[in-house]
Structure 1
Amino acid sequence: MPTVHIRITREGATPAQKAELIAGVTDLLRRVLDKNPATTVVTIDEVDLENWGIGGLPVLDYRAAQAAKVPAR
């Protein structure tokens, strides 16, 4: 029984988007590993932005730093 955990930041993913993630991951495991969709478990954990960090920075600070590196179009 495969179990997949997806962690995303809590930024308003809709129920439809979450359903699409669950269906897509389940189908991927079926196609690639021949796993039974009936026994595939997918959980989605949403993490508050203040509890998520990348590269030693809170995610909002990291995003701001990344945005500052991108030249304006």
Structure 2
Amino acid sequence: MPYVNIRVTDEGVTTEQKLQLIEGVTELLSKVLHKDPATTFVIIDEVNTDNWGLNGENVTSRRRREAAGKAVI
């Protein structure tokens, strides 16, 4: 009974894209590990960019800073 948790930022991932992820991961586990798709769970968590950090900075701040830098150029 595989359980896969995918986390992405909440920036416009469409229902179709999520479905593609669920189908693709399920197919991959079936093909590579011979897991039964009927017992394969795929969970997609969408995380606000305020709650996703990289290199000591949240993604919201990082994107804001990067956008400001591009505007100067």
Same fold, judged at TM 0.5 (above): yes
- Bin the TM-score by the shorter chain: 0.7 to 0.9
Q: Is the 8 A contact 1:49 1:59 kept in 2?
A: yes
Identity %: 55
Asked if 1:8 is matched to 2:8, the reply is yes
* Structure showing the higher helix proportion among its residues: 2
**What are the equivalent positions in structure 2 for 1:1-73 lying under 5 Å apart?**
1-63=1-63, 64=66
Unaligned runs of 5+ residues in structure 1 are 69-73
Report the TM-score when normalising by structure 1.
Answer: 0.82
Post-superposition Cα deviations, 1:22-68, rounded to whole Å, max 9, x if no partner, equal 00000010111010001000000000111110111111344529xx6
Classify the secondary structure of the residue corresponding to 1:12: coil
Unaligned runs of 5+ residues in structure 2 are none
Corresponding pairs, count: 67
Aligned CA RMSD, in angstroms, stands at 1.8
